[in-house]
Amino acid sequence: MKRDERWEGVYSFEDSPFIMEILTELRDEKTGPIAFRKGLVKLGRYMAYEITKTMDVEKVPIKTPLEETEGIIVKDRRNVVIITVLRAAIPLMEGLIKVLDHARVGIVSASRGKAPKFEIEMKYVKVPQIRSEDTVIIADPMIATGSTLIKVLEEVKKYGKAKRYVIIGVLAAPEGISRIKEAHPDVEMFVAAIDRELNEKGYILPGLGDAGDRAFGAPIKP
């Protein structure tokens, strides 16, 4: 995990060969939906492990079968709310919750309109009460223009003030990171990699395409 010097509180995993191997498979156009979903689950689990390194811990006395000693508990791991941005983040959340197994889970359905306005429509919001000791983790694989996550953060903050707000994603574009940090400077961001730029349609380059379509299949209108 390495901090990106361009922004405060933005980290990538481009120094991890394991993460980069998973990302390579996700980028490959030959990767089918089953392997794509499994890759997102693996990324979620690994990134959750890494997030625990930034959490508060508490020393506790324990007794082994041989003698008394000292261990730790990760206090913040017991106070997590995971917000899943439908639909692409479902496998990512599955991986996160394998490590953050005490987490409460919220669901947000948010869709981004077409260029150039990229208007955001939120149709479904179910978020638990957020407490002052909570770490709120918003899972969204693709951080492109940032419009969706800005709107989601605005909505989530209505449910209470958290200790931390964290975005976990697979890929991010510099344009999206800058917009999010400008609107919500208190948010931290952890992504597998930060890509080069957005194209005119708002897709990340080189990217991996539409994460939702690749994980679950492209929708049709009957």
- At 165-204, the pLDDT tens digits run 999 999 999 999 999 999 999 999 999 999 999 999 889 9
The verdict on whether residue 76 carries a ligand-binding annotation is no
> What residue spans define the domains of the chain?
2-59+70-215
| CATH 3.40.50.2020 assigned to 2-59+70-215 | yes
Is 187 in a helix, a strand, or coil? Answer: strand
Residue-level pLDDT at 9? 96
The verdict on whether residue 45 carries a ligand-binding annotation is no
The verdict on whether residue 142 carries a ligand-binding annotation is yes
CB contact burial 57-67 (16+ within 10 A = b; e otherwise) = eeeeeeeeeee
Residue-level pLDDT at 116? 65
The verdict on whether residue 17 carries a ligand-binding annotation is no
Residue-level pLDDT at 131? 97
The verdict on whether residue 2 carries a ligand-binding annotation is no
Q: In the predicted model, what is the mean pLDDT of residues 19-43?
A: 97
The verdict on whether residue 141 carries a ligand-binding annotation is yes
> What's the distance, Cα to Cα, between the start and end of the chain in Å?
44
Is 222 in a helix, a strand, or coil? Answer: coil
Q: pTM value?
A: 0.92
36-80 residue pLDDT tens: 999 999 999 999 999 999 999 999 999 999 999 999 999 999 999
The verdict on whether residue 80 carries a ligand-binding annotation is no
The verdict on whether residue 41 carries a ligand-binding annotation is yes
**Cα–Cα dist 56/201, whole Å:** 41
The verdict on whether residue 39 carries a ligand-binding annotation is yes
